[in-house]
Structure 1
Amino acid sequence: MSAPYRVGIVGCGAISRNHLEAFAAIPEATVVAVCDVDPGRARETAERWRIPHAFGSVGELLAAGVDLVSVCTPHPTHEAVVLAAAAAGAHVLCEKPIAIDLASAERMVAACDTAGVRLGVLFQRRFWPAAQRLRAAVDDGTLGRPILGHASVLLHREPEYYSAAAWRGTWATDGGGVLMTQAIHYLDLLQWLMGDVVEVHGYLGTFTHAIEVEDTAAAVLRFASGAMATLSATTAAAPSLGVSIRITGETGATAELTEFPEGTDGRVTILARGRTIDSEPAHPAGIDPDVDLATINGQLIPHHTTQIRDFVEALGAGREPAVTGHDATAALTILLAVYESSRTGRPVRLAQPAATPEGAS
């Protein structure tokens, strides 16, 4: 395109700041409209960011003529926004999770495929330099074929995190707890690093927070390659211990990515044949591990920017973005299998994923 892509942002809550900052750093795209179910909040956002148009509905935003829609609304509302955008011929970037049920995710992917528009989903932690380095250690043979993985997600949330936003902490409006909102990032990293998951056995518990959904979960994953991984996740840790992703390969080498405090750039350590390869940044000293949500989101802005830039570049090049709707659906499928396994007390077998379009990751 000779002119920048015209961007509309749907939802003016906390995470919209990351999208606004990202697009402000990308000359090939410009935000021309925002909308929110609270028109006053949309107007305030537009005034603060000097955006020409503010609307109270998705229909009005699409009628203004946008090329790309960023979806920053609560989880269960993603489908309606994505389907409307696709019908209007607009490309779509959607915050994770893509949806809270598989049928909804599949309708979203199908609608964008049918309309011939791109669908990307935000999993910005893939774009950490440390995550890219860990992936390179898989791809370049340092680790060899992954055989064993682990994701430890030991986070802290105050009770106010759930009570301050009425949609959080319920099955109907949040779709789940620590798995759906926090640990899905790390399920995505496990599948990205280790391949397709074919079986899941999981457990859920609610031990600390007064919420309907889980604040703690554990799962065992088996991959199509025969590899195995475990996941443990909670928002009940006090203090937060952050996140660790560990992959052992058939060469015997192990790579570990750590995110501490939550939201800071990952650090990767690779132990291979007696050699230690350590990356920066190191763990910061003397910092409070229990950072607030605004700080976590703020620290992720550079990686939102990298992923959103990739999406815009993908539009210009006519290729799939680095993280597609198909990728996000695969991560959701694993997560929902943990829920099903916990309900039934049995392992859940996953169908082999269909082939993604040429060029998809």
Structure 2
Amino acid sequence: MITPSSVTARSLRIGIAGCGAISANHLEAFRSLKDVEIVGVCDIDLQRAKDTAEAWGIPAAVNTVQELLDLELDIVSVCTPHPTHEDVVLQAAAAGAHVLCEKPIATDLASAERMVKACEDAGVKLGVLFQRRFWPAAQRIRAAIEDGTLGRPIMGQCSVMLHREAEYYSRDAWRGTWANDGGGVLMTQAIHYIDLLQWFMGEVAEVYGKINTYKHGDHIEVEDSATAIITFTSGAMATLEASTAVSPSLGVQIRVTGETGASACLSEFPEGSDGRVDLWAVSGSISTEPVYPAGVDPNVSLSTINGQLIPHHTAQVRDFVRSIRGGGEPAVTGGDATKALRILLAVYESSRTGLPVPFAPLPESTSPLARIAG
């Protein structure tokens, strides 16, 4: 087993599993850190692995996870398609390697729970990429909740209104299918912001939602649009809307109102740009920034989005390395990532049944109709 004391005096050995588009962010992030060495990449397409290794000056290119683990890794970065995450993580844990996994942690709850347990049993860290938590704007709102400026959240709103064309889904055969993508806008795009919403608002008590496909039905089988009402164990409530059927893109806005009456909102526009606080309504005064700056192209390519996120990928990778060297927990653990997954899966379930999905008992304070009936 790898322990903090065993890695303090040497470089950490890194392997990248999966050489698709997002792997470049992981490669850039690890390459920017001191005392870290990327020793191998893996892909089921061996030629793609070899091309990646040559382009990045990496010693080894293999096409099985076991061959990658045979390189005596300290960390495996998982950049494979969503449903394959579990297999890679379980193999890595069995080999005693720490794991940093792309979102979503998995496409079903049981799989995520097995991943978390396997890493706990093996004594290795499991981190999941939610790099938008590292936005200064997100950190500012979280701090304002904790220090009482906003206070305990009572109302929230999350709007994820994005643009995708058919080509986005056709580039990779696994996109837009239940079996290989696990879902649509909720699973692939909105999960980042569902994570932020629950990070701000707290533990969930109930989810009621609907999904539909308005624009992309000819080339995907999953949802391109969704809406939900989320109730939290604190009694707080929030709304969620998400779509990839929007043109032009409206980006992302997340607003939180606290028990002090103060509100804050962060926006990501265009997609992939740094989140910024565009509304700060505190102590009787309001300060704002434009939600949609003039002259900005609203519809951004996936490569541009990924490239602009590299600094935040790097911040999370740095935090993960810190947790291994220092022995603490990473900023976003496997358990943390499971919360966002559970919320979006509940939207799917609620849409299927037409019923709310309970997580925990609802506080009495959120049931005025029940009090009236009584």
* TM-score in terms of structure 1 length: 0.95
Q: Shift of residue 144 of structure 1?
A: 1.1
- Any unmatched runs of 5+ in structure 2? 1-7, 362-374
Matched residue SS, 2:54: helix
1:233 paired residue among 242, 261, 264: 242
Alignment match, 2:172: 165
Q: Would you say the 8 A contact 1:267–1:282 is kept in 2?
A: no
Distance 2:231 2:265 in 1: 19
Q: Shift of residue 253 of structure 1?
A: 0.6
Distance 1:205 1:228 in 2: 23
Q: Shift of residue 85 of structure 1?
A: 0.2
Alignment match, 2:214: 207
Please say which structure displays the higher CA radius of gyration. 2
Matched residue SS, 1:332: helix
Does residue 331 of the first structure (1) align with residue 336 of the second (2)?
no
Distance 2:287 2:329 in 1: 32
Q: Shift of residue 278 of structure 1?
A: 5.3
Distance 1:283 1:20 in 2: 32
Report percent identity of matched pairs: 69
Residue identity matched to 1:251: T
Alignment match, 1:271: 281
Q: Give per-residue Cα distances to partners, 1:183-215, cap 9 Å, x unaligned.
A: 011110011001001100000000100210000
Alignment match, 2:50: 43
Q: Would you say the 8 A contact 2:160–2:252 is kept in 1?
A: yes
Q: Would you say the 8 A contact 1:197–1:224 is kept in 2?
A: yes
Q: Would you say the 8 A contact 2:191–2:341 is kept in 1?
A: yes
Matched residue SS, 1:207: coil
Matched residue SS, 2:99: strand
Alignment match, 2:267: 258
Distance 2:340 2:171 in 1: 27
Q: Give per-residue Cα distances to partners, 1:138-159, cap 9 Å, x unaligned.
A: 1111111100000000000011
Distance 1:163 1:264 in 2: 25
Q: Would you say the 8 A contact 1:155–1:236 is kept in 2?
A: yes
2:83 paired residue among 76, 81, 84: 76
Distance 1:4 1:303 in 2: 22
Distance 2:309 2:115 in 1: 26
Q: Shift of residue 284 of structure 1?
A: 4.3
Q: Would you say the 8 A contact 1:153–1:183 is kept in 2?
A: yes
Does residue 311 of the first structure (1) align with residue 311 of the second (2)?
no
Does residue 301 of the first structure (1) align with residue 310 of the second (2)?
yes
Aligned residues: 351
Q: State the superposition RMSD in angstroms.
A: 1.2
Q: Would you say the 8 A contact 2:135–2:274 is kept in 1?
A: yes
Q: How does 1:122-161 map to 2 (within 5 A)?
A: 122-161=129-168
Does residue 20 of the first structure (1) align with residue 27 of the second (2)?
yes
Q: Shift of residue 277 of structure 1?
A: 4.6
Matched residue SS, 2:286: strand
**More deviation in 25-34 or 150-159?**
25-34
Q: Would you say the 8 A contact 2:233–2:360 is kept in 1?
A: no
Q: Give per-residue Cα distances to partners, 1:129-175, cap 9 Å, x unaligned.
A: 11101111111111111000000000000110011110000000000
Q: Shift of residue 28 of structure 1?
A: 2.9
Q: Give per-residue Cα distances to partners, 1:241-294, cap 9 Å, x unaligned.
A: 000000011111110000000010011121112223557x98543121100000
Alignment match, 1:356: none
Residue identity matched to 1:134: I
Q: Would you say the 8 A contact 1:28–1:312 is kept in 2?
A: no
1:116 paired residue among 119, 123, 126: 123
Distance 1:278 1:2 in 2: 48
Q: Would you say the 8 A contact 2:267–2:291 is kept in 1?
A: no
Alignment match, 1:357: none
Matched residue SS, 2:96: coil
Q: How does 1:175-194 map to 2 (within 5 A)?
A: 175-194=182-201
Distance 1:16 1:59 in 2: 19
Q: Would you say the 8 A contact 2:206–2:231 is kept in 1?
A: yes
Q: Would you say the 8 A contact 2:186–2:344 is kept in 1?
A: yes
Q: Shift of residue 112 of structure 1?
A: 0.2
Q: Would you say the 8 A contact 2:270–2:300 is kept in 1?
A: yes
Residue identity matched to 1:276: I
Distance 1:216 1:270 in 2: 29
1:283–1:302 CA distance, 2 compared to 1 (3 A): farther
Distance 1:159 1:302 in 2: 29
Matched residue SS, 2:33: coil
Q: Shift of residue 351 of structure 1?
A: 4.5
